[in-house]
Amino acid sequence: MGNSRILLIFLLLVFLVITGFLFYKFSDEDQTQISTNPAPTNIIEEAEESDFIEEEKVDESKHDLKISIISPEGEAFETSQARFYKALAEGNFKYDNQVKCNWEFYLNQNNDETLYQTMENKSILSDESQDVCGFTSTFIEDAGVLRVKLTMTVYDRLNENIESVTAERIYTVAK
């Protein structure tokens, strides 16, 4: 009775280890299939160095990402009024990666433009949703000419910078 119980526990442990290994193996393969960027190590092993450099140049030439600030709509708004800021991304949507958005707000009062506020947020760039970098705020409390500058940086799954693009838009803020 004691030996059969030990054997049963041993077989159960072996079964759990094999099941865990198979689960890990297949879930790892699923993540590889979802990835849109193939691992560059395969290219390096199979190609000569000159071939790899040529391939890299081709990929870089396909980056035609552009953004424009589409909200708030209109050219003017009032101080302390809730505004939804967002941008529209256009161009090459092969990424499906995270983007980091750096908003800078410059306020020109009496012909003196100064950095009024900064805002950083994250978004996902994909062909399903072209609206990126959105947030709502009421922090513009002074009147003047407001220059909004957005720098959007696209990162790959290893958190490496792939591409950065910038857009600007001018608003009039009244009391």
102-115 tens-digit pLDDT: 999 999 988 889 99
Task: Collect all residues with Cβ–Cβ distance below 8 Å to 22 and sequence separation of at least 6.
Answer: none
Output the pTM of the full model.
0.61
Q: Does the CA dihedral 113-119-122-128 come out positive or negative? A: negative
Which CATH architecture fits 65-174?
Sandwich (2.60)
Across 16-32, average pLDDT: 71
137-171 tens-digit pLDDT: 888 899 999 999 999 998 888 888 888 999 999 99
- pLDDT of amino acid 30: 44
Task: List the domain boundaries for the chain.
Answer: 2-59, 65-174
- pLDDT of amino acid 35: 41
